[in-house]
Amino acid sequence: MINSLRCRIQPLIIILLVMILAFIAGCSKGQNNVDMGNEQGILHWGNGTDPQELDPHVVTGVPENHILSAILEGLVAKDPKTLKPIPAVAEKWDISSDKKTYTFKIRSSAVWSNGDKLNAHDFVWSWWRALQPKLGNQYAYMLYPIENSEAYSKGEITDFSKVGVKALADNLLQIKLANPTPYFLQLLDHYSMYPLHKKTIEKFGEADERGTQWTRPGNFVGNGPFLLKEWRLFRSIDVKKNPYYWDAKNVKLNGIRFHPIENVTTEERMFRMGQVHKTASIPIDKVKAYQEKKPNLIKIHPYLGNYFYRLNIKV
């Protein structure tokens, strides 16, 4: 009886030992997100809060900007070094002598992530949507330099054909401004000016309807360097390389994982532990330490913004 019991226990002990050794080996080879991301070509990005939405005509936040800039693209982009406008969906443009008419030539290689051809009409329709009062786009004013756009947005005129944006051909977009606007090209790389896929939006609701399912993984059709792969609420948003992107050969990453981390201290700690490659926020009391001990890890850039302070003088 004892020998029989021993014969039964010995295999179980061997199996248990193998499992323990495998666990120890796994721990010894454990990698953090940064190490795995370096091997897989995945950038782990500390992105503040979970996005409100992924509709560029609804959102207003910086975290949303980071994600939308990965999955959508406008007529122009910013040069990463000089910050000057460079060609994106538009391969080139002409500006009239009075600085009020811009004509953009759309790339023949520009397509949507579902393979549909992207053309000038997509921009006309998208900007029409951006100006719909019912949508409540807080960035509608970005379009106001365009002739009659403000009047249309405010309901003073109802004929959109009077707004200074027209598709002269599938590959030619003409924009007429109310007045010369030196910074107009810089406006065009803001996410509120990106094109949207009309058929997808209308498939899931009205054009001026908020909160429909077109922005969800599996439904979203974009034109940026990445595709929306997965959205796990309050955990992460994953994007993967878009093979249809016009400049896909120069996209070095295979994907990006955006981590929503609302607490600045937590995000900085995750950065130190190798859980994220990039964080835009660190506690103010940590800045000096990074500058003195790890200056290669911190970059400080000018940040343009407007702040409103309300002072309580009735204390």
Tens of pLDDT, residue by residue over 143-195, are 999 999 999 999 999 999 999 999 999 999 999 999 999 999 999 999 999 99
Q: Which pLDDT belongs to residue 172?
A: 98
Is residue 227 one of the residues assigned to a domain?
yes
Is residue 289 one of the residues assigned to a domain?
no
Q: What is the share, in percent, of the chain residues with pLDDT greater than 90?
A: 84
Q: Which pLDDT belongs to residue 24?
A: 43
Q: What would you measure as the largest C-alpha separation in the chain, in angstroms?
A: 103
What domain range includes position 148?
37-260
Is residue 100 one of the residues assigned to a domain?
yes
Q: 131-140: b or e for each residue (b if 16 or more CB lie within 10 Å)?
A: bbeebebebb
Arithmetic mean of pLDDT, 229-234: 96
Residue of 9, 41, 51 whose CA lies nearest to 259:
51
Is residue 78 one of the residues assigned to a domain?
yes
Is residue 165 one of the residues assigned to a domain?
yes
Residue 122 has pLDDT above 50, yes or no: yes
Is residue 226 one of the residues assigned to a domain?
yes
Is residue 311 one of the residues assigned to a domain?
no
Instruction: List C-alpha distances in Å: 23 to 12, 26, 221.
Output: 16, 5, 42
Domain count, the chain: 1
Which residue spans within the chain are E strands per DSSP? 42-46, 76-78, 85-87, 90-95, 101-106, 165-169, 172-176, 226-232, 236-241, 255-259, 278-279
Is residue 132 one of the residues assigned to a domain?
yes
Instruction: List C-alpha distances in Å: 43 to 91, 109, 130, 218.
Output: 28, 26, 31, 21
Residue 106 has pLDDT above 80, yes or no: yes
Annotate 99-157 with DSSP letters as a single string. Answer: S-EEEEEEPTT-B-TTSPBP-HHHHHHHHHHHT-GGGT-TTGGGGTTBTTHHHHHTTS-
Q: Which pLDDT belongs to residue 307?
A: 85
C-beta neighbour count of 228 within 10 angstroms: 26
Please report, for the domain that includes residue 83, its CATH number.
3.40.190.10
Residue pair 129/205 in contact (Cβ under 8 Å)? The answer is no
Q: Which pLDDT belongs to residue 12?
A: 52
- What is the DSSP secondary structure assignment for residue 163, as one 8-state letter? S
Q: Which residues contact 176 (CB under 8 A, 6 or more apart)?
A: 100, 101, 146, 147, 164, 165
In this predicted model, what pLDDT tens digit does every residue of 10-54 receive, in sequence order? 555 545 544 544 444 444 457 899 999 999 999 999 999 999 999
